[in-house]
């Protein structure tokens, strides 16, 4: 059985367990990405489930309307970015996500600030697209194996990469237009 078939079957199994057809559609749509990923298919699907469960727990723990939190999971490590109204909300967010099954580490990069404007969010989206395009064009790095998130001009890089790949990817992100800082959350492999 090939990897894509395994992913599709996991999506069907998850949909039966959770009663959610969207997971099957999402599983089929992301099958091609999982096939080129360095994570196992189970970890790939697990990361998607972690993101969904973390968002659900965050909605319960932080019902405030003046918080905006994005959850990014890679290899069971979770990155929290966005804005919260105070340090208490920031701490509650970390605790809520730590309680999600299979989460190994939580990187809380939430800022205590007002919710960013649509202009700032659009700028971050453009930076992400630019950095991702540059990573995909450079043959020295596995651009499809690096996950990135941009928040207020800060680019966060996640992935399973070699030391050389990490250095090149960091330099590409650092020299991209609009980037104010690069935070690497890579796991280094041999």
141-187 pLDDT, tens per residue? 999 999 999 999 999 999 999 999 999 999 999 999 999 999 999 99
Question: How much is the mean pLDDT over the chain?
Answer: 86
What backbone torsions phi and psi does residue 20 show, to the nearest 5 degrees? Answer: -125, 110
Strand 77-84 versus strand 68-74 pairing type? antiparallel
CB–CB of 6/41 below 8 Å? yes
Question: How many residues can be counted in the chain?
Answer: 190
Q: Which structure tokens are listed for 166? A: 């990490």
Q: Which structure tokens are listed for 20? A: 């959610």
Least confident of 6-10, 109-113, 135-139, 141-145: 6-10
Q: pLDDT band for position 36 (50/70/90)?
A: low
Residue 157 buriedness (CB in 10 A; 0-12 / 13-18 / 19+): buried
Q: What percent of the chain has pLDDT over 70?
A: 81
> What pLDDT is attached to residue 190?
87
Mention the CATH class of domain 118-188. Answer: alpha beta
First to last CA, the chain: 28
Residue 138 buriedness (CB in 10 A; 0-12 / 13-18 / 19+): middle
Region 8-37 average pLDDT? 44
């Amino acid at each position: 059985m090939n990897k894509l078939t395994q992913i599709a079957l996991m999506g069907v199994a998850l949909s039966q367990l959770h009663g959610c057809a969207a997971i099957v559609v999402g599983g089929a749509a992301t099958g091609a990405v999982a096939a080129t990923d360095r994570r196992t298919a189970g970890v790939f699907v697990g990361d998607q489930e972690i993101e969904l469960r973390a968002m659900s727990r965050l909605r319960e723990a932080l019902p405030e309307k003046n918080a905006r939190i994005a959850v990014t999971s890679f290899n069971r490590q979770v990155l929290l970015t966005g804005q919260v109204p105070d340090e208490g909300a920031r701490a509650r967010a970390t605790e809520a996500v730590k309680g999600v099954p299979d989460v190994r580490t939580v990187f809380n990069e939430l800022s205590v600030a007002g919710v960013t404007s649509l202009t700032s969010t659009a700028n971050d989206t453009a930076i992400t697209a630019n950095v991702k395009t540059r990573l995909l064009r450079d043959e020295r790095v596995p651009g499809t194996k690096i996950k990135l998130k941009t928040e207020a001009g800060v680019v966060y890089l996640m992935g399973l990469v070699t030391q050389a790949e990490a250095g090149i990817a960091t330099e590409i992100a650092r020299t991209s237009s609009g980037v104010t800082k690069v935070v690497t959350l890579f796991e280094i492999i041999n």
